[in-house]
Every structure is written in structure tokens, then in C-alpha cells.
Amino acid sequence: MHFERLSPGELPVDTVELARALIGAVLVRDSKDGRVAGRIVETEAYLPGDPASHAFGGMSARNRSMFLPPFHAYVYFIYGTYFCVNVSSEAEGEGAAVLLRALEPIAGIDLMERRRADVPVRDLCRGPGRLARALDIDRSEDGCDLLRDERLWLASGAGGAPVRVGSSRRIGITRAAHRRLRFYLRGSPFVSGPRSLSPP
């Protein structure tokens, strides 16, 4: 399956705008096992100065990729089990990112199913931890350039159906929890979280 790489001019350098713009775009993962890809259907924005952001306390060994120039991967390990994938989103040194929360699988579904036996297609990439597992992403992808890297990169969406984007509060955080910084593709069954946060 062929995908067109996104170029820098096609994406906004602003965390909230990027979180919206990435809905409908495609995340492609090429590895020795083959290609898997999915349409991004859910994101969250973590802004400069945001108390819920990993970058809130300044740069550290873990979060340094959040301070890279825009469109680099920030991959972190959470709850002793899962990895989560973000896209750096502000000028170099700012410390902000967009968390990729869910994908609609569109290529390499058989490979994803081999990685996750007995999981329905709907659930393969429904949630940030599942997404990283289905795409076989770990800390070795941390810091890669998502517009130029060969292993993990962003492509444009099909551009067919209009993209209707909804918003809600973010999931799984305690600080600044009221802010509406989560974005999702309305009506998509591949979106994570409780139904009450994703009305069509």
C-alpha cells in the first residue's frame, strides 16, 4: 500500500492546531516484519506550561524529545508495561507534544493481528498503549524525525470523506483535567475512552 509523506508546510507549528490537523492523517510503521499503517482518529494536546505535560518541570532524560523541533517522535514508557507515542509540536526548546491515542488500522492488519492474538480489529490500535504495541514501537523510535525517518513516519490521509473532529477533556490525567484538549474523529468506532467523551 502506497502513502504520500507529509511535508513540513502541510502541518501547523502549534500544538492545538496540530492535534486537530493530525486527525485523518496516517501513521506508517516500516520494520523487518513489513508495513503497518493506521489513520489517526484520536489525539491529545500537551501545551507549553501545561501542568499535565511531562515537560512541565523542564527538560529531563525522559522528556527531551518533547523539546526537539516539530514533528519528532516522543516515546515514553508508562505503568511498567506500555509505550505511548507523541509528536513534538512547537519550536525547538519549547517542550510540547501531541499524544497519538488511537488509529484505524488500514494496512498490515494481518501483521498487527499476529502481534496481538485474539484481539478484534476494532481494538488493535484503540488506545495509546495498544497502538504502540500493534506498531511495535518502543524507546528505540524515540526522537526520530516523523517526516524523514524510514521506520516511522507521517503520511497524508485519503482526503475523501470530510473530517469531522470532536473535542473533550483529556483522558487519564489529574492535573488541568478540565481543559478540552482531546480531539477525535466523530463517529469512528476506533476511538478509545468512554462513549460519553466521544459523542458522534
Contact positions vs DNA (CB under 7 A): 44, 46, 52-55, 57, 60-63, 66, 74, 77-82, 84, 86, 97, 99, 119, 123, 127-131, 170-175, 192, 194-196
Tell the smallest beta-carbon distance from residue 54 to DNA (Å): 4
Shortest Å, Cβ 4 to DNA: 26
Nearer to DNA among residue 3 and residue 40 (C-beta): 40
Cell output for 22: 493530525
**Minimum CB distance to DNA smaller for 3 or for 73:** 73
DSSP result, 116-181:
STT--GGGTTBSHHHHHHHTT--GGGTT-BTTT-SSEEEE-----S---EEEEPPSS--TTTTS--
C-alpha to C-alpha distance for 48 and 184, rounded to whole angstroms: 21
CB of 32 to DNA, least distance (A): 24
CB of 94 to DNA, least distance (A): 13
Residues in the chain: 200
